[in-house]
Structure 1
Amino acid sequence: MTPSLIRGRPRRATSHICARVMYTLVGVLVGVVWLVLPGATAPETHAAAVGASASTDETSTADLVLPLVAAGAVLVLGVYGYVRRTRRARTRTTPAAAAAMAPDTSPLAELDELDERARQLLVEADDAVRTRREELDLLRARIGPEAAEPHAQALRDAEAELAAAFRIRQQYEDGVPEDETSRRHTLTGIVGRCQEARRRLEGFDRGDLGEALEFAETRFRDLTARTAATGTTPTRLAERYGPTATGPVTGYVEQAKDRLVIATTHLNQVRQSTDLDDEESAVRHLRAAETSTARADALLTAVDRLASDLSAAESLLPAALTGAEAELTPVSDRADADRVLAAVREEVTARPYDPLDALRRVVGATVPLGAGRDGVLSAAALLVARNAVATADTHITVRREFVGSTARTRLAEARRLLLTDPWSAAVRADQSMRSP
């Protein structure tokens, strides 16, 4: 027979019924005693009635007290039963279920909640910084760098706070510090820095709405023309370097066109809201239009940058191969590196090939062996790292609504390592592309 999932409930119901029956029997018993006792003592009372008037008074007193005692007993038992039934109704769960329903106030639960809050604020602060950076670029172009300097300084301060928060977060995810109290303090510090970054960005002045709208429309037209010119670049790169070389920017031109269509809709809404004297709506649609054009710009810039980086990698690769072989000469355990270099040379001879990927493999094969810290391999590592960081940054910029704190933290760490440890920066940037 399959055990019932609620088989405990009939037992509780049975126990309640039993308790009620017991209380009723006790009450009945007391009532019977109250009724029978006077009858049982009646003969004796009658026989002694002539000479025991004092005893009669005591019996009458007893007859009055006994019903009161019985009624009080029944009342006490009834109250006691009601209290017990109420308590059982309030705690009518198993111990495990009660523990699951109760809020978890353990230190570990508090740490998890604080961790989630820190993650959320990192994303919000990073989005705010990215948005202000886009707006500042527009403001500089519209009113000039000098006039926009106060806003530029506020953005730099916010970026510094956010960079520190990301650095602390990276250490936290690497297990530093280890004890629970210190980790709680670390998360509190991240929360504080994110809040300070947001505070630094308050009070951004967009200037005249009409002037901003005209500039946004001009920029929209420029990007539309640029999209047509950049549209042929991926095809040209694929023909020269193979289809895998354009993988990082696949679909970027089409996405840029979609962003510009969205921008058109919002710009029209700005005009309509302005005609209706609805400034709040006009500002909201203007910001949406600027965001769409900024993302279109980022997508097109990524395509142009890839073309430039592929050309630079193609020029640098022969020297990098020669430099790698020279630096690996004194290395004894170099069999794996030699195989990578040989494979790259075969690809270069066969053509077409992806020079950025080839350069990345050369650097990756030599850096773990202690080579590539100076000279041409150092330049190759920096080129690979810059491309990886820029690619990851574009990925987050155009998909920021769907990218969490982990990817942003990895990218921030890649930026920090870019000049001091380019290969580690490239690794972190690649991790950012694969992180939520």
Structure 2
Amino acid sequence: MSALSPVAGADARAEDPLTLSRQGQITDKVGALEDRESAVNASPDRLYAYSVASAAPLTEGGQTEEARTAASSNTSGSALVLPVALVGCAAALAAYSSVKRKHRASTRTTPKDGPEGRHGPGESPRTPLPELDRRAGLALVDTDDAVRTSQEELGFATAQFGEGATRPFQDTVTYAKGELATAFRLRRQLDDANPADDRTRRRTLDEIIARCTDANSRLDAESAAFGRLRAGGRDAPEALAAAEAAFRELTGRNVTAAATLAAMRERYAGSASAPVGSAVEQADDRLVFAAKNLDDARRAIGAGDNGRAAVRVRAVESAVGQATTLVEGVERRALELAEAAGRLPGALMDTETDLADARGLLEDTAEGTEEGTEERTAESTAESTATADLEGRIARAEAVVADVRQEQSAGPYDPIDALRRVEEADAVLDEALAGAREREVREGRARALLDHALLGARSAVGAAADYISTRRGAVGGEARTRLAEGQRRLDQAGTLTELGDTRGALAEAQHADGLARQAQSLAEQDVRSLGHRSGPGGLFGGGGTRG
């Protein structure tokens, strides 16, 4: 994929990162604010304004280099992916976000009335195709950030006011998620097909941008009402008390998660705990951030500054929300590893049974070939190919079983990875045996394989989603696209399972597993490479992936 760039005019160019004011002052280098000073100082006007991704260039742990240096005495090395500017003035950034988004919309050259617009199907002649591709990529990252942060903020509001009061906002987020899912699917189709037809590519890119714009517009339309709901529901002391309770509860859970992670590392191979290896440390960092803002909120209330206290409490809620995701990831991984370890012995026995059946089928095929050689000369080539294919499947399954049993006897191993390999090898073997088995046996074996595949797929999708969500200020569009497609495939596997299409569901689950693992790997590369994203899509825009 091409590197992403901001959705701006065709002559947009990257600028050096800015050092943001610690007092919350806004530096407007694009003229987006114009005469909107009052809007900047107004209350938050976006449903997803309180993003917890860094609004400045990230380092390894997610802080700015300046912030990392300043905090090195009291934070760990895997520092926060948290709102640098939010500490100073979240409300101002929320207003700035809305104004800048409108500025980008006013300078865009793609049609505003849909992917075809007044230029006809697929025609936006003023925008070069590579630039349109970059804009579509940025739109996906920006909208994904907006939807993720909207869901987090909606979760806080639902817990406070109940589902009835927040249902209109839930409908809005659901709609935005649907538009985003379609946009991601179009991006995936475009990446897979890579069509030579420029008009087709242009039309698809225009539709991606249009759908992302529509999703953001729906969130914008509800943001004022959502802000009034949250602002009017409780006073600052009550909000502070709720935030403190959530903070204390999560602090205890994180201590337990640390013990769980230590036990995982002792019992299993390093790869087993790797997806959540830094989760406790990351959660600690967010709790440090939350504790500081709780102190600031208390001081603000004591000084009678309830507006400032509200901003600090929102920062606490966001930090606690991300820390909760990290802690839940550790808890879920421990359960998944235990389940996989429990399933593995049965999976090995099933595979060995299938190996015995396959060897018997191979012997029968060989005997039949020898008895009818003269009469069946014309079919000998096809039979030889089928025999070689079956022999290859048998050899692969034998090797996997031997490797897994050796890993089990050698010491700590990764049961999820082991179960995945056994399931994949057995699925290939089972496919060759399907024609020779009774229907009941075929369906029973397919269901067992599907259960194993779904466990691996759910684990991979969940781990990738948590990783991207808690580090989204540094993750570009390619990883998000793979994750979105992996989630779609996993959902489709569930649908096919309900319809009784076990083999179709198995194929979808295997695809979901592979896509999610690719997404996690790509996201990790983005975080390591840094600099590709200068902030969350919901606040400042910007983004990138490998070229």
Question: What's the TM-score once normalised by structure 1's chain length?
Answer: 0.70
- What percentage of aligned pairs have identical amino acids? 43
Q: Counterparts of 1:249-328 in structure 2 under 5 Å?
A: 249-274=276-301, 281-327=308-354
Deviation of 1:273 after TM superposition, in Å, equals 4.5
Q: Is the aligned partner of 1:245 residue 2:240? A: no
Aligned to 2:51: none
Aligned to 2:199: 181
RMSD over equivalenced CA pairs, Å: 2.4
Alpha-carbon distance in structure 1 between the residues aligned to 2:151 and 2:518: 24
Alpha-carbon distance in structure 2 between the residues aligned to 1:247 and 1:336: 27
Aligned to 1:356: 416
Distance change >3 Å, CA 278–CA 422, structure 1 → 2: same
Alpha-carbon distance in structure 2 between the residues aligned to 1:290 and 1:252: 18
Aligned to 1:415: 487
Letter in 1 for 2:471: R
Deviations, residues 340-399 of structure 1 (Å, cap 9, x unaligned): 111112222343322111112212334455649822111010000100001101110111
Distance change >3 Å, CA 184–CA 244, structure 1 → 2: closer
Gaps of 5+ in 2: 1-123, 359-389, 432-441, 494-504, 527-547
Q: 1:208 aligns with which of 206, 210, 234?
A: 234
Aligned to 2:260: 233
Deviation of 1:246 after TM superposition, in Å, equals 1.6
Aligned to 2:391: 332
Alpha-carbon distance in structure 2 between the residues aligned to 1:369 and 1:112: 45
Alpha-carbon distance in structure 2 between the residues aligned to 1:409 and 1:187: 14
Aligned to 1:145: 163
Deviations, residues 193-237 of structure 1 (Å, cap 9, x unaligned): 111111222323424353444322221111111112221111112
Q: Counterparts of 1:95-110 in structure 2 under 5 Å?
A: 110=128
Q: Is the 8 A contact 2:351 2:397 kept in 1?
A: no
Alpha-carbon distance in structure 1 between the residues aligned to 2:485 and 2:338: 27
Q: Is the 8 A contact 2:354 2:429 kept in 1?
A: no
Size of the aligned set, in residue pairs, is 331
Q: Is the aligned partner of 1:220 residue 2:247? A: yes
Q: Is the aligned partner of 1:401 residue 2:473? A: yes
Deviation of 1:287 after TM superposition, in Å, equals 3.1
Q: Which structure: larger Rg?
A: 1
Aligned to 1:123: 141
Q: Is the 8 A contact 1:263 1:289 kept in 2?
A: yes
Letter in 2 for 1:347: E
Deviation of 1:279 after TM superposition, in Å, equals 5.9
Q: Is the 8 A contact 1:238 1:244 kept in 2?
A: no
Letter in 2 for 1:148: T
Distance change >3 Å, CA 182–CA 224, structure 1 → 2: same
Q: Is the 8 A contact 1:256 1:299 kept in 2?
A: yes
Alpha-carbon distance in structure 1 between the residues aligned to 2:284 and 2:159: 23
Letter in 1 for 2:203: H
Deviation of 1:157 after TM superposition, in Å, equals 1.0
- 1:376 match: secondary structure: helix
Aligned to 1:167: 185
- 2:180 match: secondary structure: helix
Deviation of 1:411 after TM superposition, in Å, equals 0.3
Q: 2:451 aligns with which of 370, 375, 379?
A: 379
4+ long deviations beyond 6 Å: 106-109
Alpha-carbon distance in structure 2 between the residues aligned to 1:322 and 1:272: 64
Alpha-carbon distance in structure 2 between the residues aligned to 1:197 and 1:277: 38
Distance change >3 Å, CA 358–CA 249, structure 1 → 2: same
Alpha-carbon distance in structure 1 between the residues aligned to 2:396 and 2:206: 45
Alpha-carbon distance in structure 2 between the residues aligned to 1:108 and 1:176: 22
Q: Which has the higher helix share?
A: 1
Q: Is the 8 A contact 2:129 2:202 kept in 1?
A: yes
- 2:392 match: secondary structure: coil
Distance change >3 Å, CA 155–CA 354, structure 1 → 2: same
Deviation of 1:254 after TM superposition, in Å, equals 1.6
Deviation of 1:263 after TM superposition, in Å, equals 1.3
Deviation of 1:247 after TM superposition, in Å, equals 1.8
